[in-house]
Amino acid sequence: METAVSTIQIAEVLNQLGVSQENQGTSTGINWLSSSNYIDSISPVDGQLIGKVSTTSKEDYELVMKTATEAFKTWRLMPAPQRGEIVRQFGEKLREKKEALGALVSYEMGKSYQEGLGEVQEMIDICDFAVGLSRQLHGFTMHSERPGHRMYEQYHPLGVVGIISAFNFPVAVWSWNTALAWICGDVCVWKPSEKTPLCGVACQNIIAEVLKENNLPEGISCLINGDYQVGEYMTKDSRIPLVSATGSTRMGKIVAQEVAGRLGRSLLELGGNNAIIVTPDADIKMTVIGAVFGAVGTCGQRCTSTRRLIIHESIYDQVKNAVVDAYQQLRIGNPLDEANHVGPLIDTDAVAMYNNALTQVVEEGGQIIVEGGVLSGDGYESGCYVKPAIAEAKPEFKIVQHETFAPVLYLLKYAGDVENAIEIQNNVAQGLSSAIMTNNLREAERFLSHAGSDCGIANVNIGTSGAEIGGAFGGEKETGGGRESGSDAWKVYMRRQTNTINYTTELPLAQGIKFDL
């Protein structure tokens, strides 16, 4: 089967997205600033240099913030449905450029082309969601205890929202935040991952077109680039009331402490150590599909990737054999070739973490039943291709408690009833996504009850990986507690205000207090 886009064709993809091989990495919306320092964007697909992106200096950052804060003064005064119209136009631009942006996501990050297209579709979906939401930013009315008074709540935009995103979803997570922030009346400053900077440049080009066509201030959407030090510009900046950060738990703790130190808000989407519980009443075929895709999709580099398979002892061997058989059918290779199931890890540092996990699980007494290893030779020149591995382990192993951002799946055995499996699942520091495979209604409801899964996402008869736009996305414990995307996640991007109106000629005080003059 022909690949969706070859390395030679990537130049055309970049051209369609307005991305050149040497890009400015700091944008105030339409105008680009320049810098003498650059980030190299290296594709994990073939190890080739895609392009260079300049890093943001402190001086550039100050100009970005000045432009953004000025733009906010105009943007916040536009009625929310009009802001929604701008987001609708952005969604239409994404539809036009879906194939090109999906190909860039695949080539720069390493996920399959279908997953790249799916990520852009998520951007389109959140735009559609936000457009509808722009007419529903409702408050709440309540009765006052004082006669002749009306009392209600309303929501106002915060100001400048800072967004720090991770490499594994280089465009979708930004859009989850920015589409909602925009319709709420906020402006955004985005620092994409330094591992996928060209995806950020491409997205900025697309929204810049929309802003220019509508004669809107360029600072509504701003882009900065660089390493953690550039991210610190935002976390330490009191002009940014909300910082939304996606990444590792280690990074999130640093962001949380820095932002809290200035009494700002942080929205954190951090690590996951997700499990699927497989009970004796599970549909084995569905279990295998959910577990395999959850474990190897995006080469195990999703925050919702399946890390642990908790299987009842009565069906343990049956499930184990079925999953092992499925792994033998996996095709590993260029993710732009739609015949392949698994692409590369993001870089050689990720490969080192993968190798360390396999070494550690054996040292702790586990047994590898599907051998891993780094692939080499024709088609694997980048050194980032690895074999998805499966290990039998115990819940208390340190490596099982840890999130390894790679395709390593741990099989764990449980005995007794579903409460024992739930206890194993919850006994990790992370709390993002969880699932149970069962046709037993009581087991399913127990899993979803107050004493069930402690994760932000809990699924029945589907895997841990993937989420719908309509639901709030996020997790508990060391996952950070943040919520993005659907439901009422929009409220985090706004400030809440209680209003009381006295329409009488008297001024009664609350709680019957008398203060006569």
Show which residues are catalytic.
Answer: 269, 303
**Of 140, 26, 152, 138, which Cα lies nearest the Cα of 80?**
138
In angstroms, rounded to a whole number, what is the distance separating the alpha carbons of residues 148 and 504?
A: 6
In angstroms, rounded to a whole number, what is the distance separating the alpha carbons of residues 373 and 407?
A: 11
Q: How far is CA 96 from CA 89, 90, 210, 413, 424, in A?
A: 11, 10, 13, 48, 46
**Of 441, 416, 452, 463, which Cα lies nearest the Cα of 281?**
441
The residues, ordered by sequence, that sit 6+ positions from 217 with a Cβ below 8 Å of its Cβ are: 29, 67, 70, 71, 74, 75, 211
Contact call for residues 288 and 491 (beta carbons, < 8 A): no
The residues, ordered by sequence, that sit 6+ positions from 129 with a Cβ below 8 Å of its Cβ are: 179, 469, 470, 485, 486
Residues facing residue 311 across a β-bridge: 278, 413
DSSP label of 21: S
Contact call for residues 486 and 470 (beta carbons, < 8 A): yes
Judged by DSSP in three states, 99 sits in helix
Task: Please tell me the chain's helix, strand, coil percentages from 3-state DSSP, rounded to the nearest 5.
Answer: 40, 20, 40
Q: At what angle do helices 418-426 and 441-448 cross, to 10 degrees?
A: 30
CA angle centred on 374, ends 120 and 168, rounded to 5°: 20
In angstroms, rounded to a whole number, what is the distance separating the alpha carbons of residues 396 and 405?
A: 19
Q: What is the sign, positive or negative, of the torsion defined by CA atoms of 85, 91, 95, 100?
A: positive
Question: Which letter, b or e, does each residue of 445-477 get, where b requires 16 or more Cβ atoms within 10 Å of its Cβ?
Answer: ebbeeeebbbbbbbbeeebbbbbebeebbbbbb
